[in-house]
Structure 1
Amino acid sequence: MIDAHTHLDVRSFEDLEKMALCGIETIITCAHDPYKMSVPEVCLDHWDRLINLETKRGKMVGVDVKVAVGAHPMGYPKNWELLIKKLPEFLDNENVVAIGETGLHYLTDDEKKLLKEQLYLAKDYNMPIIVHTPEKNKKEALLEILKILDEVKIKDNLVMIDHINKDTVDLIDRDVYIGLTVQQPMKISPMEASEIIKNYNKKFILSSDLGSLKADVYALPRTKLCMKKIGVEDDKIVSSTYKNAKEFYRL
């Protein structure tokens, strides 16, 4: 299994070990806002930590940790233009597999500009990009994201729109990857994720979004078991827990 979206820098070594023990072979840890991102240098140090420390912690428990770097919409500096300038320097690292987590949260004009710039980088560097949708105003944010994707003209296979639920899955009318975040407050349960995967033929990718708040290190194996219980096709189970993430991140 591949846990396709986490924030390992705020989780314990014991959590990584539990994930390894339950059959997770690869974990993607994404840039986020663990501190007040008051200046670009804080973000750059955060990216550096993910690349140079979290990958080593993964090796210690026998898990392959890969990294996504980018500016998160919930916390980024006012002068974020420097991050856009510096981001390409990180993309050549063998442990970096995507740009992200980026996206929209508060739906400000500045956020939209920041998202566009990161999408243009993803397009120019042919790099996968993880696009966040918020808990509140999810439909409104998703529709705005879809407009921005059209404007940037980025290929569908480079984009994962994340944190999608049963109320928004129908709105996605293109062949992007769709992230389902399981077993978190304000996100979806293993049963809800299983039913979505059973009822739709889309490129779903499951993840736990482990971070500093309540989350489940067993989100993927728990959802895998749930899918088996309700009769989800074996191919869909493999695709949502492994194959689609492997394809998207080019692992």
Structure 2
Amino acid sequence: MKYIDPHIHMVSRTTDDYRRMALAGCVAITEPAFWAGFDRSSPQGFLDYYRQLTDTEPRRAAQYGIRHHCWICVNPKEAEDAGFAREVMSLIPEFLEKDNVLGVGEIGLNKNSRN
């Protein structure tokens, strides 16, 4: 049976995981942008991350016959600094034009902050 994984974070997974998923019948995934476990120190860090989601991960997935789609965002934790968040958000429109980008996400609330 073939399946689609609607929410998975492959940037933190090994290529072996793509192989195992393909063997189990995975044909497509959607990967929302998320907090990396550390706060990025500049908008350039997000630019690199967005390129990984839109270029690197689709190539890795395609090696195993899996279609990779993603969502682009600045996560709530790193959006605490409004000026920083605006800089990052100014980068997003160019990525929304990419074929594998479904829209804006992962969005939510940050329980560790005022927002």
- Structure-1-length-normalised TM-score: 0.41
Structure ranking higher on relative contact order (CA contacts 8 Å, 6+ apart): 2
Which structure has the highest helix share of the two?
1
Contact 1:37–1:76 under 8 Å retained in 2: no
> Aligned pair 1:90/2:88, yes or no?
no
Instruction: Tell me the C-alpha RMSD between the 2 structures.
Output: 1.8
The 3 A distance-change label for structure 1 pair 43 and 72 is same
- Pick aligned residue for 1:12 from 11, 14, 39: 14
Aligned length: 110
Identity %: 28
* 1:126-165 alignment runs, 5 A limit: none
- Residues 101-130 of structure 1, C-alpha deviations (whole Å, 9 max, x = no match): 111022745x4xxxxxxxxxxxxxxxxxxx
- Pick aligned residue for 1:38 from 38, 41, 44: 41
- Structure-2-length-normalised TM-score: 0.85
| In 2: Cα distance, 1:107 partner to 1:92 partner | 32
Cα offset, 1:33, TM superposition: 2.0
Aligned twin of 2:28: 26
* 1:1-251 alignment runs, 5 A limit: 1-34=3-36, 35-76=38-79, 78=81, 79-106=84-111, 108-109=113-114, 111=115
Choose 1 or 2 for highest CA Rg: 1
Cα offset, 1:57, TM superposition: 0.3
Q: Give the aligned residue type for 2:105.
A: G
The runs of 5 or more residues in structure 1 that have no matched partner are 112-251
Contact 2:29–2:67 under 8 Å retained in 1: yes
Contact 1:38–1:77 under 8 Å retained in 2: no
